[in-house]
Amino acid sequence: MSESYDIVVVGGGVAGAALAARLARAGAAVLVVERELAFRDRVRGEVLYPWGVLEAERLGLATALAAGGARELPYWRTSFVGAAPPEPRDLRVEAGAPALAFSHPALQEALLRAAELSGARVWRGASVTGLTRTGGGVELAVRRRGEARPVRAKLAVGADGRASGMRRLAGFATSRDRPRLVFAGVLLEGVHVPYTAREDDTAQLYFHPSEGLLAMLLPIGGGRTRVYAGYHLRSGRDPAVGRSLEAFLALATRAGTPAGALQGARAAGPLAAFDGADAWVERPYAEGVALVGDAAATSDPSFGSGLALTLLGVRQLAEALLAEPDLSPAAVERAGRAYATAQAASYGALHRKIDWLTDLYRTPGAEADALRARLYPLHAAEPWRVPDVVAEGPAGASDEAARRAFFGEDLAGAGAPG
Ligand SMILES: Cc1cc2nc3c(=O)[nH]c(=O)nc-3n(C[C@H](O)[C@H](O)[C@H](O)COP(=O)(O)OP(=O)(O)OC[C@H]3O[C@@H](n4cnc5c(N)ncnc54)[C@H](O)[C@@H]3O)c2cc1C
């Protein structure tokens, strides 16, 4: 016998737990199916941009974030190799909210607890092995503690992350950017940045564009720093950065991390490397199945937008469903389509901006150096030309005129971009 729910959410990460909390609070019968019995460090996002903080507040999740140990990370400093480190931005002033930093597993635990407290049922140690569309609903084959536990849903939601099995089971086609960046990360203790008085409250980003390298030091509290280092595939760097801490630290240092900052640092979690390119589905809803979070669109992790994009998508899906009078098949279909349109527009805008920024700041070589030589003075004089992904994400212009403005092609006599 199948158990029946309004919504079955597969995956209890940030996407699944946030959606379950919002919909259960509104009175829906929600089941979350989560594979892990206890969350562990999978080297995932631990900083939420200000526009994501605002999305969390709109979803009513501010208390859950605080319960998950989220702390303010208001200062943001971007340094380029060879130049003195600039004063950091204060995101509270420039973006209307600070970024938040946390341990990802602790945040997952807190959000899933919030979903339960809102009335959602949560099955841990359970995963989905099959999906059948029944006409007017979806039947999912679930295995829990070795037992088959079929469930029925008016809407099934794949919130099972970047390697989503639901995406495959439901027949969504995945598009991918060409591989371009390798992005590795590890949690470190004992990191010390010499030149800042507000070390615990400042995100430090380092770029060495000519060599296609970058590094990020993100303090998450408790003396721990999430450190990332990445290289463009054309930089000819050592692929061992995802396996060897020594190679990873050498890359972070070469990218511009100040001498001594990483000396004496110790790993406090696993080291892992990822593809720094996007993967997405064109429309994350089809016939009773929606995808949210990374399952719908995995944005290049080196831009740190995944969690904010996830919460935006969760709000878009929740609002579309809650705008309907009920969860009849026709209402689910309407809500699913409205969500897919809204999500594709937001994700498309962010993706375009990230592509332009990659061309300018993360691509090595003489052609990209020439582009930088042409655009840096223009951008310094007219900063409005540069998309601010940290502060505004997909909001703001991302059309052809915005692209031309970014590359200075709107100016008389401008050449083609490099
Ligand atoms: C290296 C790296 C750095 C990043 N840095 C940032 C950052 O600084 N800021 C930022 O905003 N974003 C960052 N991101 C992106 C961010 O981590 C993701 O966007 C976010 O975790 C997506 O949440 P999710 O819930 O969609 O997926 P996930 O976090 O992957 O959660 C999916 C959940 O589904 C469960 N699951 C999977 N398969 C099944 C199954 N078959 N059955 C049941 N459960 C299942 C998993 O156990 C997990 O709990 C980074 C990503 C990477 C890889």
Taking the alpha carbons at both ends of the chain, their separation in whole angstroms is 62
Atom 37 of ligand 1, nearest CA residue: 160
Atom 53 of ligand 1, nearest CA residue: 44
Asked whether residue 45 is assigned to any structural domain, the reply reads yes
% of the chain with per-residue pLDDT over 90:
90
Asked whether residue 251 is assigned to any structural domain, the reply reads yes
Distance 40 CA to ligand 1 centre (A): 12
Last residue of a domain, one of 275, 310, 341: 275
Q: Which atom of ligand 1 is nearest to the CA of 165?
A: 41
Q: Which atom of ligand 1 is nearest to the CA of 305?
A: 11
14-25 and 306-322 helices, crossing angle to 10°? 30
Q: Which residues line ligand 1 (CB under 6 A)?
A: 10-16, 33-36, 43-48, 127-128, 159-162, 165, 183, 185, 274, 293-295, 301, 304-308, 310
Q: Which atom of ligand 1 is nearest to the CA of 162?
A: 30
Q: Are residues 202 and 170 in the same domain?
A: no
In total, how many domains does the chain have? 2
Atom 15 of ligand 1, nearest CA residue: 306
Query: Could you say which residues of the chain have pLDDT below 50?
Result: 417-418
Q: Are residues 297 and 270 in the same domain?
A: no
What pLDDT score was predicted for residue 414? 62
Atom 29 of ligand 1, nearest CA residue: 13
Q: Are residues 245 and 335 in the same domain?
A: no
What pLDDT score was predicted for residue 307? 98
Distance 294 CA to ligand 1 centre (A): 6
CATH of the domain at 222: 3.30.70.2450
Q: Are residues 188 and 226 in the same domain?
A: yes
Asked whether residue 89 is assigned to any structural domain, the reply reads no
Q: Are residues 325 and 235 in the same domain?
A: no
Q: Are residues 284 and 255 in the same domain?
A: no
Residue-range definition of the domain harbouring residue 46: 3-68+103-176+279-352
Q: Are residues 107 and 8 in the same domain?
A: yes
Distance 130 CA to ligand 1 centre (A): 21
Tell me the CA distances in angstroms from 251 to 105, 110, 227, one per residue in order: 26, 34, 11
Atom 19 of ligand 1, nearest CA residue: 306
Q: What is the ipTM of this complex?
A: 0.99
Asked whether residue 203 is assigned to any structural domain, the reply reads yes
Cβ–Cβ < 8 Å for 101, 11:
no
What pLDDT score was predicted for residue 300? 96
Last residue of a domain, one of 251, 275, 299: 275
Instruction: Give the residue from 370, 379, 10 showing the smallest Cα distance to 164.
Output: 10
CATH of the domain at 13: 3.50.50.60
- Computed from CA positions of residues 18, 23, 27, 32, in that sequence, does the dihedral angle turn out positive or negative? negative
Q: Which atom of ligand 1 is nearest to the CA of 42?
A: 53
Q: Are residues 117 and 248 in the same domain?
A: no
Asked whether residue 417 is assigned to any structural domain, the reply reads no
What pLDDT score was predicted for residue 415? 53
Q: Are residues 307 and 189 in the same domain?
A: no
Distance 324 CA to ligand 1 centre (A): 29
Both tokens assigned to 128: 């989905």
Across the beta sheet with 99-101, what order do the strands follow? 47-48, 99-101, 71-73
Q: Are residues 292 and 215 in the same domain?
A: no
Q: Are residues 186 and 265 in the same domain?
A: yes
Last residue of a domain, one of 299, 323, 352: 352
Which residue of 181, 214, 307, 354 sits with most ligand 1 atoms within 8 Å of its CB, as the best mutation to test the pocket?
307
Cβ–Cβ < 8 Å for 110, 68:
yes
Distance 13 CA to ligand 1 centre (A): 6
